[in-house]
Every structure is written in C-alpha cells, then in structure tokens.
Chains A and B, each alone.
Chain A
C-alpha cells in the first residue's frame, strides 16, 4: 500500500489516520489507566457490592480493563478498601499496601473506609486515610455498583491527567499526616 500508490496529500491523510504522535508519558498513562488490576480484597459489606461489580454481568468493570483480579498484592495495581477497617486489621492492610509495587492506587469504597461511617467507636480506625494515602473516596453505605464504577472511571481520569500529584498536594491538605 505504501509502495507508491498514494501521492502527496493522499499519503499525508493516510498516515495521519493511522499513526499517532504523542509523548511517552501520555502513552504510558493511557496504557496504565486502561489496565488497572484490582487486588481481590474485601473486608465487609461493601465487598459484596464490589463482587457484584466484578462478577455480575449487569455492571462489570471488565469493560474498563479492570477485570483481572489478582490474588497477590505484588501483581496488583489498585486496592479497593471495601469495608470497615478495624484496629486489628489495619496493620495487615498497611503491610499489603506496602507489598504492592509502584504505581499503585487506593480507592476507599464506602463510608466505613473513608471515615468510619456510623461507627464512631473504639474498634475501628476512623478512616483508612489515617494510615494509607487514598486517591478516591466513594461515599455510600454500601455504594451502588454504578457508584463504584464511577469512582473507578474517576481514577482512570486521574491516572491519565495527573498521575504524579499526590492527593495531599491536589487537595492542599498538608497537616493531615499522622505523626507516629
């Protein structure tokens, strides 16, 4: 096809339709956002809605590239904290998060992992962002599967546009670090 059959303008049009010119960062972000593999990690009731999103034919996230749920944190990109994080579980979640390889993202799904929800008591960590940097918070108790998909899409937009910005810079929330 390219051995001289098109000339001049036709050739330019042909090439423009078929070849993209972009920066490496944009290509990398595009590839990363369309293949965010979640870690299979469910804690409590929100895990049921998460399994509905992953496993139900009606709302499924495999059309967004997130179908491959990895069992091991070393192979996963994203952890969806679905459910209440108790004080016994918090060090384990932190260890799993540390085992994930960069780049990694955290979605706090539901009211209990965003801010302990309605359980303002001795047994829960009041929000997972006390020990993990969270990128997306999804409210709801439990959030609808569509809400979780919207959160994942928002995460994809985030990866595409501002991948390096940590959430503390983006929301100007310095001063929320826990001093241990």
Chain B
C-alpha cells in the first residue's frame, strides 16, 4: 500500500495477479498461514467455464484440493451501459438500464424510474404502484427459480434444471401476457407502468401461484432430505455477519446470517407498506441457510402477489402529468395540447430539473441503487447503478478460502452473481 499508486509503473501494479507463485511457492499469502514446504498451484477458472454463471474469471491458488487464495477478475461483459445512457433521453434509458442485471430486469427499471420520479417530484398513481409490486415479486420468483435451476445443476441435482426452467416459463408467460415480451419488457415507465394488465391476468396469476406452492413443496421434498445435498451445503462457505457488513453485502447472503435487513420492510418504498409478509432469516450463514432463505422468499413473494391482486385499486396506471407521460391515443385527435405534448415527448423527451438523487430498492440479490444526475436538459448527465452482485463478489474470497474446490463451486452458486450487473 502506498500513498502514490501512480508512481509505480503500470505493469508493476498488476503484480497481484502474476503467476509468480509457480516459481516461488514459498511466498506467504496475507491472511493465511501456509507452511513453507507445501506446494501452491495457481489455476485459472477462466471466463469460459460451465460453472461460473457467466463470464467470471477466478484465479485460485490451491494447495492440493484446498483453496488458499482467490482473486476474481471481471469486466468480460462490460458494455458501457452507463456511458450510453448519457446520450439518450430519459425514457429511452429504460431499455439500457434493464439489461444490466439481466435476471431481475423489473428491478433495474424500477430503481431507475423511482430515481427519476424523485428528481421530477411526481406521484405515481396507486394502481401503478400495485402493478409494480406484482411484477417485482413475480420477477423475484422467476429470478430465484432460475437461480435454483442453475445452482442445483452445479451442486449436482440436475433434475432441478428442468423443473426450475419449467416453472420459470410460466412466469415468463405471465410477463408476456402483461407486456408482450418475455424478458426485458420495458414495462415500467417514468410515472407508472406503460399499460394496464389485460383481463385474464388476475386468474392466470392466481392459478400459477397455486401451482407454485405445490411445486415448491416438491422441490423441497427432493432436496432437503438428500444426504449428498446436505453434506455439500451445510457448514460450508460460512462468513460472519460482521464481515459481511464490513463488505457492504446485502440481500439473501446477509439475511442468511441472521440480520433481517430488507429494504422492503426497513425503508418501505412504493406500496410495500400495505402488505403483510415476513422476512426469512437464517441462523448460521452457511450455504444451506442461503438456499433456505431464497426458497422461503419465493413463498413470501407469492403471498405478496396474492394480497396485491386482492387489493388492486382502480385508477390510472400512469401519471397524468403530460410533460412526463404520453397522452392516451384517443386524445390526440381532439386536443391540441395533447398533440404538442406527444410531439415534445417523443422527439426531445422530458426535462428534469437539475439535481442528483440516489434511490435503493431490494432486488433478489441485495440492495440495488440507482444514482442519477440531471443537468436540466432532456438527457441524464450520469446514470449509475449500484449493483448488488458487484459488491457481493467481494465476499467470495471469504466464502471460499479454506474450503475445497467443490465448496468453491457451491459458494459461487449460492452467491448468485449476475455478471451483467457486475460488469454493466
């Protein structure tokens, strides 16, 4: 550590990722005590690997089968989304931003829209809030189902891949029903949602939720009593709660250690204060607790969706402020102001008063925050998403060091990294 890092030549600065341990196996690693005569072997769990959930590259230093050090290298799917957002008008940023964390696209949209609404200081109608909550919780269910499918594939329970993807297809059918597209639906707009739900949506969601409950029971019956599964998951990858809090980790990883921090209950946003649900927490903080927390979260999400459908209020689904939301098509034939507003919105976009805001919501992986700086024009000056996977990745070293390579794979699976969010 030095006070002037730029004085060191650039290649020297990358010393932490050299393979010098191949020549000098006696080099100590900070934080561990490794005897002098063991042989450390640095391998590269490369960006193309069946088990890395995307293009995550890990440099593991292993001693036999035990992992001694871990350096994650990211950036292989960096798309420059934040820079691209600076030349789009505010509502055109929504498709860019939703492709960051590509499993929880409603959450990305929701965080951004809420930030811009905070800057504009407009109210979102109640019906739109409830619709947002319904879609958020359905997306949480589909994200956890996909997590279940792929991580159980890594652990070895390959049946869960088929079952998890099958249930997820039902949720994507519901999204297709409400917005026309399975993924990346551009459903949330600044001021509300883009369109009301069609008439059969309510019944289909309730049918799906009833099905989900029986299916979750089947999944637990398959996995929870399986000796191999329990041995792989229990007491592996334990990180203490203080360490996770130091690293800024939130979400199911933190809740598995016993800390009930959930932004939906602690700092309620949107319509979450109207619903009655519990926050599942774990006891020990090992991989098994993380799995149980996510399974239980799916059940709680189903309860929230049912309550939201029961109490769905009537009303507009997007704000009436014509400077922000497009007027309905039938008005364009009769009203001149509506035509002018439509024209201004489509060509130039909305103008946002200058300022900065940071709004955080609870995504399936933790706290997803969006920071928007506006300079008074119709394009944002800076959009930054505080992605939960990016911060959670720092916990991987603590989860995996000291365990076997097999535990490393399970740790990556339980961490649930989404590389699109890490790299943006």
Contacts and interface: CB of A to CB of B under 8 A. Distances in A.
- Would A and B touch once assembled, by the CB under 8 A criterion? yes
Interface of A: 40-45, 47-49, 51-52, 55-58, 71, 73, 83-84, 86, 88-89, 92, 96, 118-124, 141-142, 144
B184 A144 contact: no
B54 A56 contact: no
B146 interface: yes
B17 to A, nearest CB: 14
Contacts of B103: 48
A131 to B, nearest CB: 15
B328 to A, nearest CB: 27
Interface string B54-65: 110000000000
Contacts of A88: 75-76, 78
Contacts of A48: 102-103, 146, 183
Nearest to B170: A58
A55 B55 CA distance: 19
B208 to A, nearest CB: 14
A142 B183 contact: yes
Interface of B: 46-48, 50, 54-55, 75-81, 83-84, 95-96, 99, 102-103, 146, 149-150, 161-162, 165-166, 168-169, 182-184, 419-420, 423
A54 B419 CA distance: 20
A52 B169 CA distance: 8
Contacts of A96: 48
Q: Which 10 A-B pairs have the closest CB atoms?
A: A123-B80, A45-B102, A56-B165, A121-B80, A89-B76, A55-B161, A71-B50, A55-B165, A121-B84, A86-B78
Contacts of B80: 119, 121-124
B54 A43 contact: yes
Main secondary structure of the interface of A (DSSP, over half): loop
Report which residue of B79, B166, B182 has the largest number of chain A beta carbons within 10 angstroms of its beta carbon. B79
A47 B95 CA distance: 18
B76 A121 contact: no
A41 B48 contact: yes
Contacts of B166: 56-58
A48 B420 CA distance: 12
Nearest to B419: A44
Nearest to A122: B80
B83 A122 contact: yes
A57 B47 CA distance: 28
Contact of A119 (B46, B84, B165, B183): B84
A103 B268 CA distance: 57
Given A45-B420, A123-B79, A124-B80, 10 more contacts: A43-B55, A44-B54, A47-B54, A48-B183, A51-B150, A56-B166, A56-B169, A121-B80, A122-B80, A124-B79
Contacts of A119: 79-81, 84
Report which residue of A45, A52, A118, A141 has the largest number of chain B beta carbons within 10 angstroms of its beta carbon. A45
A7 to B, nearest CB: 53
B420 A44 contact: yes
A52 B77 CA distance: 21
Nearest to A40: B50
A47 B418 CA distance: 12
A179 B161 CA distance: 43
Nearest to B165: A56
Contacts of B79: 44, 84, 86, 119, 121, 123-124
Given A55-B162, A89-B47, A43 B77 contact: yes
A118 B92 CA distance: 11
B31 to A, nearest CB: 28
A123 B85 CA distance: 13
Contacts of A47: 54
Contacts of B48: 41, 73, 92, 96
Contacts of B46: 92
A5 to B, nearest CB: 48
Contacts of A42: 54
Nearest to A96: B48
A49 B183 contact: yes
A58 B96 CA distance: 29
A104 to B, nearest CB: 15
Given A92-B47, A96-B48, A121-B83, A55 B78 contact: no
Contact of B183 (A45, A56, A120): A45
30 contacts: A40-B50, A43-B55, A44-B54, A45-B99, A45-B102, A45-B184, A47-B54, A48-B102, A48-B146, A52-B165, A55-B161, A56-B162, A58-B166, A58-B169, A84-B79, A86-B75, A86-B76, A86-B423, A88-B76, A88-B78, A92-B76, A96-B48, A119-B79, A120-B84, A121-B79, A121-B80, A121-B83, A123-B79, A141-B184, A142-B184
Report which residue of B103, B162, B165, B419 has the largest number of chain A beta carbons within 10 angstroms of its beta carbon. B165
B274 to A, nearest CB: 32
A123 B50 contact: no
A96 B149 CA distance: 26
A88 B327 CA distance: 43
